[in-house]
Structure 1
Amino acid sequence: MIKKIFILVIILISITSCEKFLDVNEDLDSPYTSTPNFLLPPVIANMATSVYDHGETDSYFTQQVATLSGYHLEKDRWDYLKAHRIPQWRRHYHNIAINAKHVVQSAERENSTNYKGIANIIYALSTLTTTDMFGDMPFSEALTGNPAPKYDDQQFIYSEVQRILDEAIVTLENTDLNTSRKLTSEEDIVYGGDINKWIKFAHAIKARALLHLTPNVNQNYSEVIAEAKKALDGWQDATFNYALGDGSALQLNQWGPSKSRPDWDYRANILDKSAPSHFMLIEALKYDEENKIVNDPRQLLLMKPNEKGDYLYVYPAEGKSATLSETDFPDLYNSYVTGDVSPMLFFTEEELHFILAEAYFQSGDIDNAYTSFSNGIKANMKRAGVSDDDINSFLAGSTIPHSSSEITLSDIMMQKYVALWLQGEIWVDMRRYGYSDQIYPGLKKPKYLAYYWDAENPNEWIQRLPYDTETEEIYNKPELERLGAYQNPDWLKKPMFWAKQ
């Protein structure tokens, strides 16, 4: 099944890259004439790659991992002036958004509203993750054939994401499965055609997006709680299951040790050239370096120690000592995230629990905050493979609060940090709270950054990525200049509208 999906991915990428030539002769395999059952699987598969793309970039900004060399221009030095390709931008517009549009159009032609609703949910998710990385972006004039569309502001994008999700929910709630085209696991590898689960997923994305607006834009925590609770009622994790593939290179998780690259321009992981940062290992996982005591059982499952049983770390942008080799550092492969057939996690139960924990805490409902906090830890530990006995021991241990009277916002955010291992959502959280060492105790800005970063300013952190140079600087330079984003390193320092200013 996955083999068929990735073949369709490659075909559809080729088609949408050459659309201007398709108006000469009718092509029965084109997105204009094909049926939605052939068009939807590549959209979902490309979303899986997008989730990887974002995590593979953001997990270095959030210091879950750091490179062993310390010299990577982008991951270590935050130097994007020399960047040529920004895959997250291309993935959204070239692979997901345009093809989701084709699914919707095809589904509307035959009144298959189940396909339409699902395609719009993926489109909304991709739009949200893209704007959270770049900020303002083309939307109202995007996907129309205009090579230089205007950039809409991020506030508008956020309102449109909510609108699309609301409409998708209504569409799916009113879908007549007797008249819509059949949807099975062949077409829907996430939920096997269960539209009720897709509705829950849409509510989860709404909760995530609404949480992003807190605490800086508004404090509308009741809405966040309502959406998260709707999602959790009958929730099933939204994942892309590589275990259903045949093990070929095209059908493996890109986080895995095989470093799968479904296409030539896909960015391979460098986990074999990386290690947990000091912040991840010591501050978040609470590893007792002096006595070599593992306090969080997930540590044993996220990374394997070296031959001596040691867990070594590096500081971002500093790299390893010359006296150490790569094998002296933990092996980051074959965790629940980083195996060749590990599922790609679009949205998990534990994230919903931590969304609730933060929203309850910030709205003053500390008892429910503590309950959701504990549920988030349990859900993540079960996913990682921790035994029930070890879960109970951890919850009773000294590294986390034991009651609502002890819990702090920092406790919630630090446990979410661990639970969303290698996921891009953590970068949103850190920016919302201004990289605060009150929320993330022990977090420190890297020392050795590109020349345009102020080493003396502890509050100057990376806030966004530049736009793709090979498309936007060529075709849409006036819009970049209007924003102040054209070859301007200060653009990387500008907080999102939802971030702490």
Structure 2
Amino acid sequence: MKNLKTIFFAGALLLTIASCDDLDTLNENTKAYTTTIPSALMTTSQVNYSYFLTNASVNDNNFRGYAQYWSTSTYTDEVNYNQAKRNLGNSHSVILYRDVLKDLQVAKNMITNEQALGSIEIAVKKNKLAVLDIQIIMAYQTLVDIFGDIVYSEALDITNHPTPKYDDAKTVYLDLARRLDEAIGNLDSGNKSFDSADLIYKGNVAKWKKLANSVKLKMGLHLADVDAAKAKAMVESAYNSGLMNNNSENALFQYFSTTVDQNPLYTSLVDETQIILTEFFVNELNAKSDPRRDIFFDPISKIDGVYKGAPYAKQVTYSGYSLPGVRIKQNTNPGVIFDYTETCFLLADAANRGFSVGGTAADYYEKGIRSSMDYWNVSSADADAYIARTDVAFATASGTDKQKIAYQLWIAYYNRGFEAWTEYRRLDFPILVAPPTAVAEAEGKVPVRNIYSLFDSTLNRDNYNAAATAIGGDKMTTKLFWDKF
């Protein structure tokens, strides 16, 4: 077969040479683009941002472990918070700076330089730039929520800033809020944007505006404990401008059955045998007969007829514990960028703080639970029964109102590890306990930050040292500026 292929290739090459007078054209693909297309850059950035949020690779995403939904049976370094071993800071930085932000910024620069003729072309151009800016803002917010102070004002410019400075995290947040207002103001739902190149909303500008306002809602609440006046203004402005109203407006990234386009969880949950459910999460849902259990967990992995979780971060036998659910294992299951359920619980938090958002904390708390049930295809009857439980109903569930909201948000965030970890840090509930086997650097606590890349401390030492000093030490126990309690 190898010889046949060689003969075929040689014959084809001879025929090509015989029929061509100019050999210089042999390597030209007349159907290929010769320059980078902004829409293609945005597409790849969406692929990579969704990968960052969705995957469960030990090299790239251990957040579901930090939120204590999942543990691992044999290799437990990551769930024991060994951030340095795999240089997780570098992985997060590479994906978000190089694979997401750089592509978005190049696309933005190219579209900025394009000439637009006529009012429609100008409106479409403004929409495209606004959609790009919204995604840039989300990526930078993610970086702040991971590290604290980050490279921002001198980022993505290796020519002029090969060793960029780190900017104060709160200053970055406030500038992102300003930019978000500009982007929202530039969106015109009466005109198009990227169309099919937009893998999230297919160019639907109205949905991008609702997503942007929902992001603004979240950013505002992140400021609530450090700048209450600014938080209130942002939250109420976002509400008045229009937030997500239902699950049809969720920002989802659709995956497909082909290997290169499948949900990255498929590799971690089907091709590998490491990830198991934690006893803490399973016991919490079992105690309330949560109707999402048969979706969150795999029914065939019950042990003696019941779901059984494993001790967190302890080496155990994989077959002795329950596993993540069938839907979550599907290679076509979409990745979630932002959703209506999250929006509802954020509004519950806002209402609980006295912000004017058109409803009470109890209203939005119930809407959040119902939205989660609806997304996971739980029947209305089962959702009603769950909400009616005295240990679930807002009026009778245990804990403060803030804790009730945080607890149900934590459950609803299942399979969204990064956001679950982020809101756990902000709302300080549920109470998660570090395992006794955690690395010494964790100081007996669940991490509230990811340490910077090891390359930061070697290749950009002076700026790294300044940043580490400014935040109170490059440690996983150093709280971010918005994490005050």
Normalising by structure 1, we get a TM-score of 0.78
Residues 1:58 and 2:58 aligned together: no
* Equivalent position of 1:495 in the other structure: 479
Q: 1:192 aligns with which of 187, 202, 207?
A: 202
Q: Give 1:58-457 correspondences, 5 Å limit.
A: 58-69=63-74, 72-76=76-80, 78-85=81-88, 86-110=90-114, 111=116, 112-145=125-158, 146-173=161-188, 177=192, 183-185=194-196, 187-218=197-228, 220-221=231-232, 223-228=234-239, 230-233=242-245, 236-242=249-255, 245=256, 247-256=257-266, 258-259=267-268, 272-283=273-284, 285=285, 287-288=286-287, 295-305=289-299, 306=301, 308-320=304-316, 325-335=317-327, 337-363=328-354, 368-401=360-393, 403=395, 408-423=401-416, 424-433=418-427, 435=428, 439-440=429-430, 443-455=432-444
- Deviation for aligned residue 1:389: 1.3
Which residue identity does 2:430 align to in structure 1?
Y
SS in 1 for 2:425: helix
- Deviation for aligned residue 1:98: 1.0
Q: Distance in 1 between matches of 2:439 and 2:350?
A: 37
Comparing 94-103 with 107-116, greater Cα deviation is found at 107-116
Which residue identity does 1:430 align to in structure 2?
Y
Q: Distance in 1 between matches of 2:64 and 2:176?
A: 24
Structure number with the higher helix fraction is 2
Which residue identity does 2:439 align to in structure 1?
A
1:43–1:404: structure 2 CA closer, same or farther, 3 Å change rule?
Answer: same
1:400–1:128: structure 2 CA closer, same or farther, 3 Å change rule?
Answer: same
- Deviation for aligned residue 1:29: 5.2
1:495–1:422: structure 2 CA closer, same or farther, 3 Å change rule?
Answer: same
Which residue identity does 1:363 align to in structure 2?
G
- Deviation for aligned residue 1:315: 2.5
- Deviation for aligned residue 1:276: 2.2
Contact preservation (8 Å) 2:151, 2:164: yes
Q: Distance in 2 between matches of 1:154 and 1:124?
A: 13
Q: Distance in 2 between matches of 1:412 and 1:481?
A: 38
Q: 1:36 aligns with which of 35, 38, 51?
A: 38
Contact preservation (8 Å) 1:53, 1:87: no
Which residue identity does 1:165 align to in structure 2?
L
Q: Distance in 2 between matches of 1:302 and 1:312?
A: 13
- Deviation for aligned residue 1:218: 2.7
| Percent identity (aligned) | 22
SS in 2 for 1:39: helix
* Equivalent position of 1:5 in the other structure: none
Gaps (5+ residues) in structure 2?
1-31, 117-124
SS in 1 for 2:440: coil
* Equivalent position of 2:13 in the other structure: none
SS in 2 for 1:492: coil
Per-residue CA distance 1:250-296 (angstroms, 9 max, x = gap): 1011122x44xxxxxxxx9998412222321223x2x14xxxxx610
* Equivalent position of 2:465 in the other structure: 481
Per-residue CA distance 1:110-154 (angstroms, 9 max, x = gap): 242222111111111111111101111111111112221001110
* Equivalent position of 2:27 in the other structure: none
SS in 2 for 1:72: coil
Q: Distance in 1 between matches of 2:476 and 2:469?
A: 8
Q: Distance in 2 between matches of 1:364 and 1:137?
A: 30
Q: Distance in 1 between matches of 2:226 and 2:396?
A: 25
SS in 2 for 1:239: strand
- Deviation for aligned residue 1:395: 1.5
Q: Distance in 2 between matches of 1:313 and 1:380?
A: 22
Gaps (5+ residues) in structure 1?
1-27, 260-267, 289-293
Contact preservation (8 Å) 2:189, 2:206: no
Comparing 405-414 with 132-141, greater Cα deviation is found at 405-414
Q: Distance in 2 between matches of 1:68 and 1:120?
A: 41
Comparing 214-223 with 383-392, greater Cα deviation is found at 214-223
Q: Distance in 1 between matches of 2:279 and 2:236?
A: 33
SS in 1 for 2:202: coil
- Deviation for aligned residue 1:384: 0.9
Q: Distance in 2 between matches of 1:432 and 1:419?
A: 16
Over the residues paired in the alignment, what is the CA RMSD in angstroms?
2.9
1:174–1:396: structure 2 CA closer, same or farther, 3 Å change rule?
Answer: closer
Contact preservation (8 Å) 1:59, 1:65: yes
Aligned length: 430
1:314–1:372: structure 2 CA closer, same or farther, 3 Å change rule?
Answer: same
Per-residue CA distance 1:190-232 (angstroms, 9 max, x = gap): 1111111111111111111111122344363463244146213
